[in-house]
Amino acid sequence: MPSDNAGLLVLAVDDEAPGLSEIKFLLESSPHIRRVLTAFDAAEALRILRGDYEQEVMARTKAGLPPVDAVFADINMPGLSGMDLARVLSAFRHPPALVFVTGVEERDALVTAFDVGALDFINKPINEERVLKAISRVADRVGRTSAPAAQASQAAQNAAEPTDDEVIPVELGGTIKLVPRASVRYVEAQGDYARLHTQDGSHLVRIPLAQLEERWANAGFVRIHRSYLVALPLVSELRMTANGYAVVIGTGEGAKELPVSRRHTKELKERIVRPPKSGW
């Protein structure tokens, strides 16, 4: 992606002029940002991302890069909403990072926004510290190299694989908490929902376990049972029990034993003995 000298190319989308001016000003205050493009609605944003107005965007696309490094989009817009825009972006061959800018009344939308791959969320009224934190997440995801070939390679990898800084929005006591995927020890199926278990507690999210299994496969998460997905690097033991095999997640007082189904035992043994060379 862009080198430190080049900085990030981002697109800000908001149908309200004051909001668009504010997010543009705050984005431009970051040393990571080279240039901020703006759009007053999702339709205009898509025209920009197609390269209708910007030769640079078209050149990036032809080079196998995302059209921009990140899109900062308001959720509540007339016509195509920010969520609609996010679904379109997720279909791009090399999608840019996505950050939602949202009002507190849209918390329910944030909980489901994980499905469309949002990297971060900024609540209105926005402030400089929160914007800079989101930019830092984008910069970490995008990475920095100088050679065009390395740029294209990194872009393709980012599009194909989840990144370690991916966060999951969960509702907790009327507020939205962002849970880093790296903090998740294992995931438990609960119908069409999934419960994320971390060292500090658990969080219910509106996403099926099968979808998380596919999405997090390259990040070291493996299915061990119809009800469980575990972070393989955190497996400390694979042991025999009266009912078959079980894994132990973690060590000491915080260790957790989970059953391994017969159909997943062979694959799990192979993964433990010969783990993948990349992905986690």
pLDDT attached to residue 278:
45
> Which percentage of the chain shows pLDDT scores above 70?
80
Asked if 130 and 123 count as a contact pair (C-beta separation under 8 A), the reply is yes
Given a cut of 90, is residue 223 above it in pLDDT? Answer: yes
* DSSP conformation class of 276: -
- Asked if residue 73 is part of any domain, the answer here is yes
Note whether 101 and 193 are same-domain residues.
no
- Asked if residue 278 is part of any domain, the answer here is no
- Asked if residue 58 is part of any domain, the answer here is yes
Give me the chain's average pLDDT, please: 81
Backbone angles phi, psi at 230, to 5 degrees: -125, 155
DSSP 2-50: --TTT-EEEEEE-SSHHHHHHHHHHHHTSTTEEEEEEESSHHHHHHHHT
- Asked if residue 256 is part of any domain, the answer here is yes
pLDDT attached to residue 6:
67
Provide the domain limits for residue 54: 8-144
C-alpha closest to that of 142 among 5, 7, 29: 7
Note whether 194 and 235 are same-domain residues.
yes
Q: Tell me how far apart the alpha carbons of residues 123 and 125 are, in angstroms, rounded to a whole number.
A: 6
Note whether 33 and 134 are same-domain residues.
yes
Q: Average of pLDDT values for 160-164? A: 46
Note whether 12 and 134 are same-domain residues.
yes
Note whether 44 and 86 are same-domain residues.
yes
Q: Is 222 helix (H, G, I), strand (E, B) or coil?
A: strand
Confidence band, pLDDT 50/70/90 cuts, at residue 72: very high
Note whether 140 and 196 are same-domain residues.
no
Given a cut of 90, is residue 78 above it in pLDDT? Answer: no
Given a cut of 50, is residue 210 above it in pLDDT? Answer: yes
Q: Average of pLDDT values for 167-177? A: 67
pLDDT attached to residue 269:
86
- Asked if residue 214 is part of any domain, the answer here is yes
Asked if 99 and 118 count as a contact pair (C-beta separation under 8 A), the reply is yes
| CATH number of the structural domain spanning residue 108 | 3.40.50.2300
- For the chain, the farthest-separated pair of C-alpha atoms sits apart, in whole angstroms, at 66
> Which percentage of the chain shows pLDDT scores above 90?
36
- Asked if residue 280 is part of any domain, the answer here is no
Q: Tell me how far apart the alpha carbons of residues 225 and 228 are, in angstroms, rounded to a whole number.
A: 5
Q: Tell me how far apart the alpha carbons of residues 185 and 254 are, in angstroms, rounded to a whole number.
A: 11
**Considering 129, 144, 159, which residue would you say is the last residue of a domain?**
144
| CATH number of the structural domain spanning residue 211 | 2.40.50.1020
Confidence band, pLDDT 50/70/90 cuts, at residue 112: low
* DSSP conformation class of 227: T
- Asked if residue 239 is part of any domain, the answer here is yes
